[in-house]
Every structure is written in C-alpha cells, then in structure tokens.
Structure 1
Amino acid sequence: MNLDHHKENKGNILLVDDIPENLQLLSDSLIKLGYIVRSVISGRMALKTVKAKRPDIILLDIMMPEMDGYQVCRTLKADEVLRTIPVIFISALDDVFDKVTAFESGGIDYITKPFQMEEVVARIENQLTIQRQQRLLEEENIKRRETEEILYQSKAMLASVLNSSLDGIAAMQAVRNPVTGDIEDFRCLVVNSLIARVFGSSCEDTISKLLLKKVLAPLEPELFNHFVNVVETGEPLKRDFYHPLGNYCWYHFVAVKLSDGFAITIRDITGRKQIELALQDANQKLEQLVNIDGLTQVANRRCFDGRLQIEWKRLAREQQPLSLILCDVDKFKSYNDYYGHLGGDDCLIKIAQILQQIVHRPADLVARYGGEEFLVLLPNTDLPGVTKVAQSIQQAIHAQAIPHAQSDMKDIVTLSLGITSVIPTSDIKPDTLIASADKALYNAKQNGRDRYCTYLLDT
C-alpha cells in the first residue's frame, strides 16, 4: 500500500514552470510530503487553472515564453478575487533587480534555483501558517461582530420590554479576571425599577455601582456560583428566594445566558408562597393524622405496615437482620372494667410513652397495633439486641408501677412480649414476621404472662 496517499493534506499548491523536469522534481517531492499539487507549463494555463480551482499557494517561475512570471503575478493581483493568493517566485535569476521586480509585481517570497527542498518546504509552510492565522483572525472578527450585534439587539429588545413589564428585569455582564479569564463578579447593564427597589437603589445607581457578589453576600452567597454556571454552561436557573422588602418577601427568578452574562426576570410570588406554605403545613398535619394513633400519639397500623415493607426490602438487599416485638397488656379487659375506659386510655398512653423512651433510634418504630397491643420494629437488630430491648421494656413497665387491682398475677400492670428476628429475603413475605411475633406472644401468655418468649422463622 502507498502510505503517501493517507497523509494529511497540508495544502493545495500550483506549480508553474515551462520546464517539465523542474515540475516533476518539485511535484514528486511535495506530494510525498502530503501536499496536493497541480502543475502547468505556461502563464496562461496558470490563470485558467487558478480560476477553475483556487490554490493555497502558487510557486511561479519567471522565465517563461509568451507570458513571464511577472505578468502572471500582476494579472493575479489585479483580480479582486485572486489577489490574496500568495505567490512565491522560484527562478534561476539571482540579480537584485529581478528580485525587486518580483516583489513589486506582488510576490511574497523568492527562491533561487538551484534550490534545496528543505528551503522550499520551509517557505511554503511559513506562508500556509500566515494564511491560517489570517483565517482565524477573520473568523474571530466575524464572531466578535456577531456577538456585538446580538448584544446590541438584546439590549434593544430588553429596553422595550422594560417599559411595559410588571416583573423585575435586569441584564448582568460578567467581570472576568484578565489573566485567568475566570468570572469574578457581575455588573449591571440594564435594570428596571422593581429590581432596583430589591437592591435598595435607583435604576441609575444600580447600573453604575452594582456589583452582584456584594449584593448576594448577605442573602445567599452560593447563588453567585449558580449564576456563573448559567454563563459558562448556558443552562437556565430557576429559583424561589426569600428577601423581605416592604409588604413583599418571596420572589421567583429565572436567569438565562445573555452573551457573556445573563438576563434575569424576578416576579413577586408572596401571595402564592403563603398559600403553598399553608397547604404544606396542612398536608403535614394531615399526614400526622393519617399515620399517628390519635390516642397514644405513636405510629398507627397503617404507618407500621408501610415502614415494614420499606425496611424489609432494604434489609433484604443489605442482608441485615430485622427484629420485631409484639407487646400485649396483661389482663387489660379487667383493667378497663375496673378503672373505666378513661383509665384504660391513660394506661395505654403511659405504656406508649415508656416504649418511646426506650426505643429511640431514628430507624426504630413504635406503633399501636390495635386495642392493647403495641409493635416495636427494630431494623439492623439481631436476636441478642432485640432481647435486650424487650428486657428494658419489662424493667421500665415494672418501674412505672401502674396499679392493677384486678390482676391475678401482680398488683401492677405487666406486659407479655413476643420476640422474633430474621434476615429478610424475597422468598418470605413481611407479614410472616408479624405472625412469628404473634406465636411468640401466645407462648408468653401460655407460660404465665409478664414475660417474653422468642419464636424464629424457619428460613
């Protein structure tokens, strides 16, 4: 395979020389180096070829019949379209007069025959580099003009909107570090009266004096970095923020990239926010009503069922134990009959408070299961751990010494406790944990009450 055909195209070169041997030598050498080369043997052919397809550089001999290199170059420079093509003269003429004539004709360089190929390539590359730099400069100028035009149009549009908008509107320009190019602050370009009031100044003072970082410092300093991100990434920013000002305190803003800065629109949403906050508070209270037992103020059965499902899935993934205690007040019916329902309610409230004092980890849950039964859910707790909790509950209930005149075991309120513990799996339903604790509770009652028993799932 000829690897020369796979080299990067370094540039398009037109060779003009009436001696075929010279053309062949230059053409072969330049093609091997990665250039695209076309060759012609006369000035008239050169002019036709240039018009058909414009080269990046022309290597032009001087001494040619009919039309010499000087004439060819002058003709090119007289053409508005072709005059920017660099012409390098390559000739055996070594007289100063010939070289001066070449440059006066419009040539940009001169190579004397016989030449070294390294010199030819170096001069060609020099001109190609200059061309690339010129193109980049032109592109940058175009971009700059486009940016200036966009900024001008944006300012004009923003100014017209300012006169009719009921929202606060401003345009901010980035202040960049001259060395690193990093955004150090933002200054105000355009602002209307509503935003000026937020900043506590007039429109004129806001535009002439405002630097955003200082304004944000007492409000929400991290907002500055979010505005920088809007400019650097083009991603819009939407946010509610609190800033007391007269009768208004809640605002919503939208910031979007605008040239090397951003435009921001601010709207007073105090009324809407007050409604949202009131609704949020009502929802929280409703959530409590839905999930909290009205009498004992611990979680209710509905809340327990939801938490059990969540913890079962989590601990199944983590392969960690989940334990449960089912508590039942011994001889509660006789307690209710003797002390009345209000007395019974007070007893349940005290028991719930004792359970809450002992079970206090954030993930643990005390719930009223129904009637005189309570559940204690203990995630990440193994059998020895849940046993210690059950012992603590019994000790605390005994220490509370709630009188129970109708008990045939002790003269104070006691609890029977059913304990179970398991590492959850997807093969076992969470409800089996409750069933297991219920069996343990049954055993505790059968064995004389006022005690705890354990029943483990067969996994």
Structure 2
Amino acid sequence: MIDSDLQKNLPLILVVGNPKTLRVDLREAIDKEGYRIAEALTGEQGLNACQQLQPELVLLDTTMPDIDGFSCCAKLQALLGDHCPPILMIIDLGDQASVELAFEVGAADYVTRPIHWAVLRQRVPRLIQANWAMQELRQQVERENLLKEQLKRAEQKLESLTSVDTLTGIANRRCFDEYLHREWKRAARERKPLSLILSDIDFFKAYNNTYGTQAGDECLKQIARTIRQVVRRPADLVARYSGEEFAVLLPNTPARGGVQVAEAMRSQVKALAIANSGSQVSHLVTISLGVASAIPSSESSIDRLIDEAKEALDQAKIGLRDRVVFHMGNLSVNSTDLNPSTPLIWEGNVAEFYETS
C-alpha cells in the first residue's frame, strides 16, 4: 500500500464522462502505474473539478449528458489558458471528423473507444511529462522576465543616481552637461534660442561658518526647491552646477525670457527670508545670477554660452550682488537696467517670451 503522503505526490488524472468508459480493470491498471484518478460525470462537473484539483492530465469523453467533450475542452482552454493541463479526448473508432475537431478545440491527443490500456499507457506519461516540461519552461521564462524587470529597475535606479544630485534631488552636473549638448543640437536644427542661467549663493561660506554645514545643506535644499517652483516647464532643467552654484537651462527661450526667470529666482530665494548674518549685502540669504542666450550656429558654441553666463555671474557678484546680470557679446547689463525698447537686449515679441505662470 502506498503511503498517504506519497500518494498525494502521484500524478492526478481527471476522467470526465460516462463511468462505463473506464472499465474497472482499466482503472486498476492506471492505479498500478502510479497515477491517482478523479472522476466527473458531466462536463460542468469536469470544469469545476479541473479548476479545483489541477490534474496533470484530463481524460475527456466526447459524449456527455450536458455539454459535449469538444465544448468542455474549449471552455477549459479559455478558463485556464497556459495553466490548462493536457487533454486526452476519447473518440469513437473511425470518427475522423471528431479527431480533427478535437485538435481544433485544443486537445493534446486522443484515444479511441473502447480504450486499450496498451495504447493509453504510452500516451499518458508522454503527455504528463510534456506538460511538466512546459510548466518548467514557463516558470523559467517567468523567472527570467522577473530578473529582467529587476535588472531594468536597478539600471533605472543607477541612472537616477548618476543623474540626480543626492542632496538637493535636482539634476547633477553630469546630467546638465548631457542635456545641454542635446538641447544645443536640437536648437541648432530648429533655429530656436537657448538661454542659460548660472546662479551662486552670496557669501555661502560665511553662512556655513556661522550656522554649520548641516544648516548649509538645508539651505541648499530649500533654494533648489524654490528654483524648481519658479522653473516649471517640462523641457527646462534645473541642476546643481557645483557646491553652491545652480544652473538653469531654458530651451526655446530668448534673452528676455531668461532674464525674467532669473529675476523670479532671485526674488523668490530672498523671499525665503533665511537669515545670513555673515552676508555683506543683506541680512538674508541671497543669490546672484548671470544670464546668457544664443541661437546655436556655426559662429557660436556651448563653451561660449557657458563662458558668457559665467562672465555675467561674475559681474553680478562684484560689489552689490543679489542681482541679475545679462551678458550679450561684450556687454553686461543689470536686469534693472533692461528696457524692452533696447534692441540690443530684447528680441522677438512678448508672446515669445518665457512665461512663469
């Protein structure tokens, strides 16, 4: 007698149909071969039993009192999909039309009535083993897909780590450089203006010396959030350029738009009202900003755009600070001095300017 625990691990064959289909000696022969047997008298019972018992093989009669075996086979395939066990149809000898229909509805194989064990014993283990192999293959594919998904998430996380400044949560210098090169090429193709803002926190070293580096880190994070709130267009990029420097890239934005954004950044940072007793220009934390703009062409370059923004920033940091300076050619102009009627500074119509709201 087989131990009950071992019995549970034996392959299960679900027989669906007329109990006379399987003679007593045939059931005994199947049992001796090391299989368990479950029986369902009707198609509906077979559908329920197959879902509950999850057999390794279904032996399905074509003739049943409620639904025929072909309809039952099709419903099993629809219900269980890839998890449907192989179905071995029982068909009348010489009924070629039923053989063809059985394969059309998804049967794995067939045997003819009356059933001979010599035939069945060859087909049952082959179908069960093929089903096991297919299940193992599907599990392997699922494992590989899971690993691919995990790898994809890991790569995305790594990419995020390599493109995001860990302290402030905005883009880092590497991301900025890559984005600037892409947008420069795009602007050159489309003949669109590109504006760059470089900003520096005024007397930040004094701030750190007075309040400590932890407070300095919190100050950087607040300023980064504030700049992000000012610069809201999806195509614009806010990045931490260096220690206390921030860069903002504004695609499809002429000079006036760049200055407007820079001025909004300056005023909003000052509105944070972060105390800085070490500042020589204000009792609050302030920033100085330099703006440069260009329409990429053979006569311009990325390095020149950056240099002009740096020169404008240097001018902003001389003396007064807490201001915006725009650079064009050899000219640096304070934002407060800009006049829309000045042809050298303003280009295009108001509708083309960057809008902050």
- TM-score, normalised by the number of residues in structure 1: 0.44
State the 1:268 CA deviation.
Answer: 5.8
For 1:259, the equivalent position in structure 2 comes to none
Q: Can you give the 5+ residue segments of structure 1 that lack an aligned partner in the other structure?
A: 1-189, 211-249, 253-265
Alpha-carbon contact 1:327-1:373 (below 8 Å) kept? yes
Aligned to 1:411: 283
The residue number in structure 1 matching 2:81 is: 198
Q: Is the 8 A contact 1:418 1:441 kept in 2?
A: yes
Q: Which residue of 1 aligns with 2:175?
A: 303
Query: Equivalents in 2 of 1:441, 1:386: separation in Å?
Result: 13
Superimposed CA distance per residue, residues 322-365 of structure 1 (whole angstroms, 9 cap, x where no aligned partner): 00110000011110100111111111111111111111211111
Mapped to 2, the partners of 1:414 and 1:352 lie a distance apart of 13
Aligned match of 2:255: 383
Find the partner of 1:397 among 263, 269, 276.
269
1:454 aligned to which of 323, 326, 333: 326
2:241 maps to which residue? Answer: 369
Alignment of 1:309-388 (within 5 A): 309-388=181-260
Offset at residue 399 of structure 1 (A): 1.5
Cα distance between partner residues in 1 of 2:147 and 2:194: 42
Residue 408 of structure 1: CA displacement? 2.1
Question: Separation in 2 of the partners of 1:401 and 1:321?
Answer: 34
Runs of at least 4 residues off by over 6 Å: 193-196
Of residues 292, 296, 311 in structure 2, which corresponds to 1:424? 296
Larger Rg computed on CA atoms: 1
CA contact (8 A) 1:251 1:270 kept: no
1:273 and 2:156 correspond:
no
For 2:102 and 2:270, locate their aligned partners in 1 and report how far apart those are by CA, in whole Å.
72
SS in 2 for 1:288: helix
Letter in 1 for 2:205: K
SS of alignment partner, residue 378 of structure 1: strand
Q: Distance in 2 between matches of 1:398 and 1:290?
A: 31
Distance of aligned partners of 1:313 and 1:206 in 2 relative to their CA distance in 1, 3 Å threshold: farther
Report the CA distance shift for 1:376/1:295 in structure 2 as closer, same or farther (over 3 A): same
Structure 2 unaligned blocks of 5 or more: 1-72, 90-100, 107-134, 331-357
Please report the RMSD computed on the Cα atoms of aligned residues, expressed in angstroms: 3.1
**In 1, distance between residues paired with 2:303 and 2:266?**
25
1:376-432 superposed Cα distances (whole Å, 9 cap, x missing partner): 000001111111111211221122111111112211100000011110113422121
Amino acid at match of 2:305: L
Do 1:433 and 1:457's aligned partners in 2 also have CA atoms closer than 8 Å? no
Structure of greater relative contact order (alpha carbons < 8 Å, 6+ residues apart): 2
- Secondary structure in structure 2 of the residue aligned to 1:327: strand
Q: How does 1:120-199 map to 2 (within 5 A)?
A: 197-198=80-81
Write the distance in 1 (CA, Å) between the matches of 2:136 and 2:191: 47
- Structure 1 residues 338 and 304: alpha-carbon distance in aligned structure 2, compared to 1, 3 A threshold: same
One-letter amino acid matched to 1:341:
T
Q: Please say if residues 420 and 436 of structure 1, whose CA atoms lie closer than 8 Å, have aligned partners that are also in contact.
A: yes
Partner secondary structure for residue 321 of structure 2? coil
TM-score by length of 2: 0.56
- Which amino acid is the alignment partner of residue 239 of structure 2? A
- CA deviations over 1:11-50 (Å, ceiling 9, x no partner): xxxxxxxxxxxxxxxxxxxxxxxxxxxxxxxxxxxxxxxx
1:269 alignment partner, SS class = helix
DSSP-derived class of the 1:370 partner: coil
Contact between 1:321 and 1:422, CA under 8 Å: does it hold in 2? yes
Task: Please identify which structure carries the higher strand content.
Answer: 1
**d(CA) in 2 for partners of 1:382 and 1:355?**
19
Amino acid at match of 2:268: A
CA shift for structure 1 position 294: 1.5
Matched-pair contact (CA < 8 Å) for 2:77–2:84: no
Q: Would you say how many aligned residue pairs link Structure 1 and Structure 2?
A: 218
Give the one of 151, 160, 163 matched to 1:291: 163
Partner Cα separation in structure 1 for residue 158 and residue 205 of structure 2: 32
Contact 1:364–1:376 (Cα < 8 Å) also in 2: yes
Structure 2 counterparts to residues 253-268 of structure 1, below 5 A = none
Matched to 1:355, the amino acid is: I
Tell whether the 8 Å contact from 1:199 to 1:206 is kept in structure 2 after alignment: no
